[in-house]
Structure 1
Amino acid sequence: MAEAMREAMPFNSALETGVRTLAILVEAYPSKYDIQRLLYFDYLVVHSRDANGPESLHPNIPLRNGELLVRRGVIERGLLLFISRGLVERQISTNGINYGASDEAGPFLDCLQTHYSQMLRQRAEWAISEFGMLDNDELRIYFDEHFERWTREFQAVKMPSEHLL
């Protein structure tokens, strides 16, 4: 039963993450991104305020830096879902595997008219305009510098005393 409930959760599911990734790839078109770059941009879209951007798409929970460590698998599942629907294209080269939006991806996103999907597209546009020109090393350096700040935030949360356990 718990497995069925987890499968039905829409947040941070393959579907939700796939839609976010698709929005990023549509904004970046015709560029193609690898998983690590998509991981960075997904974080920027969801927590844009952390990078001095617009209001974050999701609430800023105190331990959100841990998301960078667990998000990769969900992004991969979202990509596979949208590859199977012909909305994302996979390109394999000597440099690795990159993903790009197909010609049908933009029209598909245009069909999504919810407030959330509009905010998502705005955050994706912001993230690509602010960080899209950085190469992978520059993007990694940016995250390394800011991840240190997020790690300090993580360490500031105190664990309960042993006698309370």
Structure 2
Amino acid sequence: MKIYNTNQEIGCRILLILQIVKETYSIERIGYYDYFSLHFSDLKKTGESLHPSNPNHSAEIIIKRHTIENAINFLIGKGLIEPQYNSQGIKYQNTNLGNKIVDMFNNEYTKKYQYYVTEVDKIFSKMNEDKIRNYVNKNIGKWIGEFEKNEK
């Protein structure tokens, strides 16, 4: 049974992000928050990361978009998030049921993930998506995994 990178796993992280930020976010912004919450040391060199950094881990930021879209559709189908349509496009927010589900999460991984989402939000909350995208495009080649660091 597959448990990693499933709609359920990524969906749980999306619910956590949207509950913490209390905003409507696009797929792109959700993806950035998820990536940097898992790989916080890519954002803050002095920070630790929740997940170990493997070789070429920065490719996740591009590859996971489709997976995040699937997880969002899964969450919509379960009534846990809802789309909001406006002139800027489609953004998503938790439903009351989605927030109640998140309130039941109570484990060490969830607490750490919530901490990192909060830290990412402190950095990105005042930035629009274009600025975040420019930051990512400018820096993506600089992020290397801990195994790559040891080879140098």
Q: Same fold (TM over 0.5)?
A: yes
Query: Does the residue aligned with 1:104 lie in a helix, a strand or coil?
Result: helix
How many residues of Structure 1 are paired with residues of Structure 2 in the alignment? 145
Percent identity, aligned pairs only, is 28
Q: Any conservation in 2 of the 1:26–1:101 contact (CA below 8 Å)?
A: yes
Segments of 4+ moved more than 3 angstroms: none
Query: Does the residue aligned with 2:33 lie in a helix, a strand or coil?
Result: helix
Output the amino acid matched with 1:42. Answer: D
How big is the alpha-carbon RMSD for the aligned residues of Structure 1 and Structure 2? 1.8
Structure 2 residue corresponding to 1:72, chosen from 58, 65, 70? 65
Give the alignment's TM-score, normalised by structure 2.
Answer: 0.86
Residue 92 of structure 2 is matched in structure 1 by 99
Shift of 1:136: 1.0
Query: Does the residue aligned with 2:4 lie in a helix, a strand or coil?
Result: coil
Shift of 1:105: 2.7
Q: Please list, as runs of the form range in 1=range in 2, the aligned pairs for 1:30-45 lying within 5 A after superposition.
A: 31-45=23-37
Residue deviations 1:82-110 (CA, integer Å, cap 9, x gap): 11222211112343211112223333212
Q: Aligned partners of 1:56 and 1:123: how far apart in 2?
A: 8
The 1:139/1:106 distance shift into structure 2, 3 A limit, reads: same
Residue 129 of structure 2 is matched in structure 1 by 136
Alignment pair present for 1:110 and 2:103: yes
Give the alignment's TM-score, normalised by structure 1.
Answer: 0.79
Structure 2 portions without partners, runs of 5+: none
Residue 18 of structure 1 is matched in structure 2 by 11
Q: Any conservation in 2 of the 1:33–1:99 contact (CA below 8 Å)?
A: yes
Q: Any conservation in 2 of the 1:54–1:123 contact (CA below 8 Å)?
A: no
Structure 1 portions without partners, runs of 5+: 1-7, 158-165
Compare CA radii of gyration and give the structure with the larger one: 1
Q: Aligned partners of 1:32 and 1:121: how far apart in 2?
A: 17
